[in-house]
């Protein structure tokens, strides 16, 4: 920092003199020109124009108060409105004591009295004002995160300790707030827009912290920390942050989540408080309706469990702890159901934690983006398995694999799939790519471009969980695909709810109109199967035929139809 400071002080500064009286302006200029580059303006309006047009940063402004067109007070009000210029120090030139208080309130840092007959004092005040301003900027640059303008982690912790020393008995809380799926926004709209969004979010948090005698820090990327006086209602606090941020983003909607840790012992290290608030923040996933969680022991246990899963993922992949299971899809159009294809589903047998439900680890990895690593494990293994069955049974069993929303933002996704099928020596027609209906979101044009590339390569596209989202009809009218798969929730109440029956019937009519294959999953009874067959569903998947099984157990369905086995 000292080296940077020395370099700064070797550069010649620029001073702007704003004074309507020619003689006074020239006297000040003669004092300054030996040590500074000098700009001159006759009034506040001319000065504003000079500031905006100057290619060289202005280090100080000497400002007269009584001027025509725009006086000094009006100039101060205008310059303080602009983020880029409001930190330029201003020394007011006045001979009136009454003007000093108003000037201070408007942001002036010092005064020089008229007449200007004390050169050394004027130079000393100019030099000191510039030094103080630049020292402050150097300190702020070292303390604050470059992209968001809030404290970095180290300085944030120091300020928390200072706050505690002056507020020993006050109730305080540590908060960690994360903007959800910020990485996806940056991939879609570019990193610069992502940085802008982070900056605006930080601005909202700083405004909120100011109201609560708190401070804000940046933990890493899309994570922010707040330390503040305890609030009565954190859901209300959350809603206010949400509303302010939506207003700042002007139509672009973001979701975020918040973990809160009540600080009971101020001897506890700041890092520990942050870690606990982040633990419960990370516990919140997309399926949670509540986006605010307050830390307790049970929450800590769940959060630590989830954190361990994240930490263990790469090792689990390298040690082949994941296994791909296959659930048969049966064509029911004829008198006897026949094997049509299979869906690949991932299972995790952890060496310490045992069997872990996909309902736990899949949403977790979807949330943090690691689902991409897991998806590729499934894609590669499914392709190899299709090849094995071809070699053994001389028959192609197409397999459906899931493509997560985060995968769809990879511009090389079509190339990746092509490499996988080429390596396994199978055809792209042998793999169905399941894209969950809700994954389409609002970026239909971009996803349609990716889907078109995949279909051109020969892959079949399956719209999964149709009916589970809010944009189903919009999705199917905007996108091209080959298979429509009914969400299993409809099948569950098919026999007991007339509205559900009518919806299932309508979906069948839509598929017929679009001339795409129609699949229903979650079928558990013959009654469900019979109704779906009557309505025109072609392929059925569910426990009625089989739960997901290992590849070796799946082969009984192949052998059953192959009399030579």
CA angle 492–497–498, rounded 5-degree value? 130
Strand (E) or helix (H) holding 70 = none
Residue 121 is predicted with a pLDDT of 81
- The answer for residues whose C-beta is within 8 angstroms of residue 336's C-beta and 6 or more apart is none
In the predicted structure, residue 9 carries a pLDDT above the cut 70: no
Residue 286 is predicted with a pLDDT of 59
* Among the listed residues 344, 347, 351, the one whose alpha carbon sits nearest the alpha carbon of residue 323: 347
Residue 493 is predicted with a pLDDT of 87
Q: How confident is the model at residue 184 (pLDDT cuts 50, 70, 90)?
A: low
- The answer for residues whose C-beta is within 8 angstroms of residue 75's C-beta and 6 or more apart is 18, 44, 47, 48, 63
Alpha-carbon distances, residue 515 vs 438, 450, 511, 520, 538 (angstroms): 22, 22, 6, 16, 12
Torsions phi, psi for 249 (to 5 deg): -80, -10
Torsions phi, psi for 322 (to 5 deg): -85, 140
User: What average pLDDT does this structure show over 217-224?
Assistant: 82
User: What average pLDDT does this structure show over 100-124?
Assistant: 76
User: 74-78, 389-393, 477-481 — which one is most confidently predicted on average?
Assistant: 389-393
User: What average pLDDT does this structure show over 88-114?
Assistant: 74
Residue 298 is predicted with a pLDDT of 77
Residue 531 is predicted with a pLDDT of 94
Residue 113 pairs with which residues in a beta bridge? 94
Strand (E) or helix (H) holding 377 = helix 371-393
Q: How confident is the model at residue 289 (pLDDT cuts 50, 70, 90)?
A: low
How big, in percent rounded to 5, are the helix, strand and coil portions of the chain? 50, 20, 30
Q: Hey, which bits of 351-416 come out as E strands?
A: 354-356, 399-402
Q: 287-319: b or e for each residue (b if 16 or more CB lie within 10 Å)?
A: eeeebbbebeeebbeebeebbebeebbeebeee
Query: Cα separation of 13 and 59, whole Å?
Result: 6
Residue 564 is predicted with a pLDDT of 45
541: which 2 tokens?
Answer: 């998947």
User: 73-77, 86-90, 239-243, 412-416 — which one is most confidently predicted on average?
Assistant: 412-416
Specify the higher pLDDT residue, 188 or 330: 330
- 125-163 pLDDT, tens digit per residue, is 888 888 777 666 655 555 566 677 788 888 888 888 888
Q: Which of the residue ranges 90-104, 315-329, 447-461, 520-534 would you say has the lowest mean pLDDT?
A: 90-104
Task: Please give the domain boundaries of the chain with CATH numbers for all domains.
Answer: 2-143 (3.40.50.2300), 153-295 (3.30.70.270), 307-560 (3.20.20.450)
Q: How confident is the model at residue 541 (pLDDT cuts 50, 70, 90)?
A: very high
User: What average pLDDT does this structure show over 465-476?
Assistant: 60
End-to-end C-alpha distance for the chain, whole angstroms? 77
Residue 481 is predicted with a pLDDT of 86
Which DSSP letter does residue 43 get?
Answer: S
User: 46-50, 366-370, 408-412, 430-434 — which one is most confidently predicted on average?
Assistant: 430-434
In the predicted structure, residue 264 carries a pLDDT above the cut 70: yes
Query: Cα separation of 541 and 344, whole Å?
Result: 12
Residue 5 is predicted with a pLDDT of 41
* Among the listed residues 218, 374, 380, the one whose alpha carbon sits nearest the alpha carbon of residue 310: 374
Query: Cα separation of 156 and 371, whole Å?
Result: 32
Alpha-carbon distances, residue 260 vs 175, 226, 501 (angstroms): 5, 9, 44
In the predicted structure, residue 436 carries a pLDDT above the cut 50: yes
- Residue reference for tokens 């124009």: 49
Q: How confident is the model at residue 288 (pLDDT cuts 50, 70, 90)?
A: low
Whole-prediction pTM value? 0.59
User: 134-138, 151-155, 231-235, 389-393 — which one is most confidently predicted on average?
Assistant: 389-393
Residue 26 is predicted with a pLDDT of 85
The chain-wide mean pLDDT, for the chain, equals: 83
Specify the higher pLDDT residue, 413 or 299: 413
Alpha-carbon distances, residue 536 vs 153, 513, 533, 543 (angstroms): 60, 12, 5, 20
């Amino acid at each position: 920092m000292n080296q940077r400071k020395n370099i700064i002080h070797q550069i010649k500064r620029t001073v702007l003199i704003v004074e309507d009286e020619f003689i006074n302006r020239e006297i000040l200029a003669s004092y300054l020109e030996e040590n500074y580059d000098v700009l001159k303006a006759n009034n506040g309006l001319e000065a504003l124009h000079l500031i905006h047009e100057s290619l060289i940063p202005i280090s100080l402004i000497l400002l007269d108060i009584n001027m025509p067109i725009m006086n000094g007070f009006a100039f101060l009000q205008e310059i303080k409105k602009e983020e880029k210029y409001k930190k330029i120090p201003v020394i007011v030139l006045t001979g009136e004591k009454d003007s000093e208080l108003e000037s201070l309130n408007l942001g002036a840092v010092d005064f020089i009295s008229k007449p200007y007959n004390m050169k050394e004092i004027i130079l000393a005040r100019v030099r000191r004002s510039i030094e103080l301003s630049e020292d402050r900027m150097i300190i702020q640059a070292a303390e604050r995160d470059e992209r968001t303008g809030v404290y970095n982690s180290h300085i944030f912790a120091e300020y928390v300790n200072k706050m505690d020393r002056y507020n020993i008995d006050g109730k305080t809380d540590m908060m960690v707030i994360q903007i959800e799926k910020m990485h996806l926004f940056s991939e879609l709209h570019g990193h610069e827009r992502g940085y802008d969004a982070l900056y605006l979010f930080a601005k909202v948090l700083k405004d909120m912290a100011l109201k609560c005698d708190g401070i804000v820090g940046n933990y890493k990327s899309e994570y922010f920390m707040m330390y503040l006086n305890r609030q009565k209602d954190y859901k209300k606090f959350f809603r206010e942050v949400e509303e302010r941020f939506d207003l700042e983003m002007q139509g672009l909607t973001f979701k975020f989540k918040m973990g809160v840790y009540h600080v009971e012992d101020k001897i506890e290290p700041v890092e520990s408080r942050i870690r606990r608030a982040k633990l419960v923040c990370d516990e919140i996933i997309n399926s949670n309706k509540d986006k605010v969680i307050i830390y307790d022991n049970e929450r800590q246990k769940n959060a630590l469990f989830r954190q361990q899963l994240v930490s263990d993922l790469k090792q689990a992949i390298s040690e082949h702890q994941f296994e791909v299971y296959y659930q048969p899809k049966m064509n029911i159009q004829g008198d006897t159901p026949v094997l049509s294809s299979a869906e690949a589903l991932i299972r995790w047998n952890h060496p310490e934690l045992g069997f872990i439900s996909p309902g736990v680890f899949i949403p977790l990895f979807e949330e943090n983006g690691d689902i991409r690593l897991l998806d590729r494990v499934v894609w590669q293994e499914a392709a190899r398995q299709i090849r094995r069955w071809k070699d053994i049974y001389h028959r192609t069993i197409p397999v459906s694999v899931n493509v997560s929303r985060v995968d769809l933002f990879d511009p090389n996704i079509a190339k990746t799939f092509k490499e996988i099928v080429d390596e396994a020596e199978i055809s792209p027609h042998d793999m169905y790519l399941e894209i969950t209906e809700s994954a389409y979101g609002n970026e239909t044009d971009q996803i349609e471009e990716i889907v078109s590339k995949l279909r051109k390569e020969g892959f079949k596209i399956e719209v999964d969980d149709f009916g589970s989202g809010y944009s189903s009809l919009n999705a199917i009218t905007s996108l091209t695909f080959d298979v429509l798969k009914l969400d299993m929730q409809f099948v569950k109440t098919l026999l007991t709810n007339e509205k559900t029956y009518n919806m299932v019937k309508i979906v069948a009519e839509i598929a017929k109109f679009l001339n795409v294959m129609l699949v229903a999953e979650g079928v558990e009874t013959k009654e469900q199967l019979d109704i779906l067959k009557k309505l025109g569903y072609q392929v059925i998947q569910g426990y009625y035929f089989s739960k997901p099984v290992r590849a070796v157990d799946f082969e009984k369905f192949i052998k059953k139809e192959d009399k030579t086995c």
